[in-house]
Amino acid sequence: MTVEPVLLDVKDLKVHFDVPAGGILFKKTVPLKAVDGVSFQIKSGETLGVVGESGCGKSTLGRAILRLIEPTAGEAVWLGRDLASINHKQMQALRADLQIIFQDPLASLDPRMTIGQIISEPLITHRPELTKAQVREEVREIMERVGLLPDMINRYAHEFSGGQCQRIGIARAMILRPKLIVCDEAVSALDVSIQAQIVNLLQELQREFGLALLFISHDLSVVRHISHRILVLYLGNVMEIADRDTIYNAPKHPYTKALISAVPIPDPILERNKERIVLTGELPSPINPPSGCVFRTRCPYAREKCATDVPKIEVLGPKHQVACHFHREM
């Protein structure tokens, strides 16, 4: 059995923002802990899903790995090189292997450029030796591969539907044949039927080119369909990491269980009779997170120890980790 190499090894990554707090007279700042010590690995050809409520740090995590946001601490090791420590020129050279697909397909495309110009931009930057004819041929080829008619090459983004705009975004990300793509809520703005088409396209491209995907989403049904492993994030902290089947069939963390219970089941009888776990209260502020376990203020199983001790990531199996003091008693 072939063991796929680790492409990305994220170690204790933190992203803190200084937020003004002190009024006009006192220039005081406090840290907003958007991502607070996240660790995981992604192997070649693998999809790691990242799930959690809005505001838990999913998008910040993805952008910090690509250095679109500067991390505060920690490492993001890409094929042996720490992305957080290299300079701008070195990072620019690595962007051919590291691409992103954004949430809003239309807003991520320049309205003044034709889609041919949009898709060809990475080629012109990273492969300047290509002639105009060669660039045009590569663009037409990738357009056809993602389901766009090559004859549309001179049209503008506003002439396309949301699903077509996301295909343009995928073509732009794929034109350099990258090794990793961060999908930042890439299907959340699309209709359900179009979501399925885009997810299937990403899976086809993954099989064809051996892509690794970091798939960020709040839709657990979509994540279940596309992911090999899933990372559950809450207030910038990892609650649980496991393979897809373990997360959905045998979750250990109470937050994971609550998320899974909210996923609708297509069988109406099972849907009516399933156990629902309803979380009380709102997501705490990352400026002033709870002491100890950050989930304790909403956890139905919280005890005194949860308020004083930060739970460590415990390894339950080769692909299963959980951060909870009392997961064995639930």
d(CA 91, CA 255): 36
- Residues whose CB is less than 8 angstroms from the CB of residue 249 and which lie 6 or more positions away in sequence, other chains included: none
Q: Using CA atoms in the order 182, 184, 186, 187, what is the torsion angle rounded to 10 degrees?
A: 130
6-97+178-250: CATH class: alpha beta
Cβ atoms of 148 and 110 within 8 Å: the answer is no
- pTM for this one? 0.92
pLDDT classification of 26: cutoffs 50, 70, 90: low
Give the number of residues written for the chain: 330
Listed range (88-92, 181-185, 270-274) with the worst mean pLDDT: 270-274
- What are 273-314's pLDDT values in tens digits? 777 777 888 889 899 899 999 999 999 889 999 999 999 999
Residue 270 has pLDDT above 70, yes or no: no
The first and second tokens of residue 20, run together, are 């003004």
Spell out a b/e string for 155-189, using b for 16 or more CB atoms within 10 Å of the CB, else e: bebeebeebbbbbbbbbbbbbbebbbbbbbbbbeb
pLDDT-above-90 percentage for the chain: 72
pLDDT classification of 23: cutoffs 50, 70, 90: low
Q: Can you point out the beta strands (E) in the chain? A: 6-20, 29-43, 47-51, 73-78, 81-82, 98-101, 180-184, 212-216, 229-234, 237-243, 314-317, 320-322
- What are 139-177's pLDDT values in tens digits? 999 999 999 999 999 999 999 999 999 999 999 999 999
- Cα Rg of the chain (Å, integer): 21
Cβ atoms of 229 and 214 within 8 Å: the answer is no
Pairing mode, strands 229-234 and 212-216: unpaired
Average of per-residue pLDDT across 62-86: 93
d(CA 136, CA 116): 8
- What are 202-254's pLDDT values in tens digits? 999 999 999 999 999 988 889 999 999 999 999 999 999 999 999 999 999 99
